[in-house]
Amino acid sequence: MSLYRIIIVDNRFDDYKEERDVLRKLSTKISICRSVDEDVVAKSIKESDAVIVNLAPITENVIEAMNKCKVISRYGVGYDNVDVEAATNKGIWVANVPDYCVEDVSDHAIALLLACIRKTAYKDRKIREGFWNLHKKQPIHRIKGSVIGLVGYGAIARALHRKIAGFGFKEVIAYDPYVSEEIFTKYNVVKVDFESLLKESNYISIHVPLNEKTRGMFDKREFKKMKDDAIIINTSRGGIINEDALIDALKNGEIAYAGLDVFETEPLPKNHPFLRLDNVILSDHTAYYSEESLVELKAKAALNVLEVLRGNSPIYPVNRPTK
């Protein structure tokens, strides 16, 4: 039996029990590359049969260095750190795990939304500083009768929709050109174009991947079209929002609040303007996280590899190799 060499790049977990449990069904040797440096990564994966990666960039140069890799399996939903075109041209599968954190991300989006609406983080900070009677500083509006707009209507947005069913929204609207009319009808959500969603929504929650079409999707023009009491929530990718435009919109009162789990640069720089704004709630790119979601993520990322090494397609293919 062949011995397959598997490299896990970008060491972010305390252990790899789930991966080893899955991959012991084949004869494998699992190694950890603890660097995100392109040259170091390229050298470490040169003779690997499979790569499992977190956030380290798997660039065209890294892929060109691969002599016999069959699959790159990404820990997570997004795969913008992997050059999919280069992998496809080299005959390498790219796979992700799109369904491991549906419940967790939708929970987190709701948590950010409610914290923005009810101003709980702001009140907590100010009360600890000795303030009271804070409602005049940051007015609160009732949820019932408002409109929430979902940008993207995939699995996470649908889970969020299910969970907010009892909040009394006047309307749940969504923009997603890739979802069929049948799905919108099935889930009782109103399909709108992007411009209408911006103008009509009291709250906007973003649930699209980061790609060429969505990068900078929210810019100065978009914020100017939103209601001045609007709240925006982003648990997808930081690059979907132009942060400079959002900062201006928050400072100038073009929109009211933002709840952000993701940023253009992570970790967030210590001098970032978001840190000085009272109408932003921040979390550290952990919407995906629960103890349960991590177990599922790690096992499924390894299952992608297992299937390819057995001669099959990965469970969650992103591409179809040309070779």
- Chain centroid to Cα 24, Å, comes to 30
| Apex 247 CA angle, 243 and 250, nearest 5 | 135
Q: Looking at 158, 161, 207, 237, which residue is catalytic?
A: 237
d(CA 224, CA 214): 18
Q: Is 215 a catalytic residue?
A: no
Phi, psi of 79 (to 5 degrees): -140, 30
Q: Do domains 4-98+291-309 and 102-282 have the same CATH topology?
A: yes
143-147 own/partner pairs: CB under 8 Å, 24+ apart: 143/117, 143/167, 143/168, 143/169, 144/168, 144/169, 145/169, 145/170, 146/170, 146/202, 146/203, 147/171, 147/172, 147/173, 147/200, 147/201, 147/202, 147/203
Q: Looking at 64, 266, 276, 292, which residue is catalytic?
A: 266
Q: What is the pTM of this model?
A: 0.89
Domain boundaries, the chain: 4-98+291-309, 102-282
pLDDT digits over 227-277, tens only?
999 999 999 999 999 999 999 999 999 999 999 999 999 999 999 999 999
The residue length of the chain stands at 323
Q: Is 85 a catalytic residue?
A: no
d(CA 96, CA 87): 14
pLDDT digits over 202-235, tens only?
999 999 999 999 999 999 999 999 999 999 999 9
Choosing among 3.40.50.720, 2.60.40.10, 2.40.50.100, 3.40.630.20, the CATH entry for 102-282 is 3.40.50.720
For residue 280, list its beta bridge partners.
Answer: 258
Q: Is 285 a catalytic residue?
A: yes
Mean pLDDT estimate for the chain:
96
d(CA 214, CA 91): 27
SS3 content of the chain, % helix, strand, coil (to 5): 35, 15, 45
SS3 assignment, position 78: coil
pLDDT above 70: residue 1? no
d(CA 105, CA 37): 29
- 4-98+291-309: what fold? Rossmann fold (3.40.50)
pLDDT digits over 42-55, tens only?
999 999 999 999 98
Phi, psi of 82 (to 5 degrees): -115, 130
CB atoms closer than 10 angstroms to residue 21: 12
Could you tell me the two tokens for 34?
Answer: 């603890």
